[in-house]
Amino acid sequence: MLLTLPVAGCLSNESVEINVDLAQSEVVVVHTYQNGALISTEAATVSVDFSGSVAAVEYTVEVSDGRDMVQRTAEEGGVVSLDFTAHGVHTLTATAIDASGRSATRVLTVHVNLQIVWTEEGTQNPSTLAFDPLPEHGGPMADYITIESVVSNPDLIQNLGGGREVDVTWRLIDPLGGACQQHSDVVHEGESAAWNTLHFNTYEAHDLAVDYEEGQDEIDVHHTVIVAYEPAA
């Protein structure tokens, strides 16, 4: 997105153009869980490119999440990189300043989605995935939540079988313990069953549970949960 910024506080009638390019306006923070434990958080990176602002000697970027303002000189390079670890709609106030002290400011918007990748193997008592769709630093609520979950029932003895089917129920649970959505299925030995759903209550924390109803085999669980913020059309 190439933006031509009007100059504020000019000391003369001379027109000065300052350009800012926001390379990414929609990015994703990834939380990875293994056997119930958070093992990594992959930050989302956004680059604000002032390099088209040939008249600027200094750049600043303020972010709505409360971090310290970022300052760069033209000699340090025209690209300011910002890492985000919290999902939500963030505003960036980008300012370019020329040698005469004249400045131009533009407010940009970045949508940071949250993706949760959850893997649990060899269990008869799957752990509950707790997640919070509320933006940590305020701002607009998320638009929706997507859930893609797969339960696998591996062969009891590899390539020979010997196990049996497993009955499971997925439940998306609200803070009062009620099931907002649920789905039941039978997972036969050596096969998998999936539940894909869309949820629009993004105003409360939720738990995603897989209830092991009946069976004797150990199962593998893989969830992908996305808390999504849709850019304006």
Taking only the tens place, the pLDDT of each residue in 130-150 is 999 999 999 999 999 999 999
The pLDDT of residue 231 is 85
113-228 CATH: 2.60.120.380
- Mean of per-residue pLDDT scores for the chain: 88
Residue 157's SS3 state is strand
Q: Please, are residues 74 and 57 in contact by the beta-carbon 8 Å criterion?
A: yes
Task: Report phi then psi at 160, rounded to 5.
Answer: -120, -20
Q: Could you give the strand order of the β-sheet that contains 2-5, starting from the edge strand earlier in sequence? A: 2-5, 18-22, 44-49, 79-84
pLDDT tens digit sequence for 171-203? 999 999 999 999 999 999 999 999 999 999 999
Q: What percent of the chain has pLDDT over 70?
A: 89
* Exposure on the CB side of residue 14, measured as CA atoms within 13 A: 7
Residue tagged 């009620």 (tokens): 178
pTM of the predicted model as reported, rounded to 2 decimal places: 0.87
Is the pLDDT reported for residue 17 higher than 90? no
pLDDT tens digit sequence for 55-88? 889 999 999 999 999 999 999 998 999 999 999 9
Q: Please, are residues 104 and 6 in contact by the beta-carbon 8 Å criterion?
A: yes
CA distance 33 to 120: 8
Class at the top of the CATH hierarchy for domain 2-26+43-112: mainly beta
Residue extents of the structural domains in the chain:
2-26+43-112, 113-228
Beta-strand relationship, 56-63 and 88-98 = antiparallel
For 76, which DSSP code?
G
Is the pLDDT reported for residue 228 higher than 90? yes
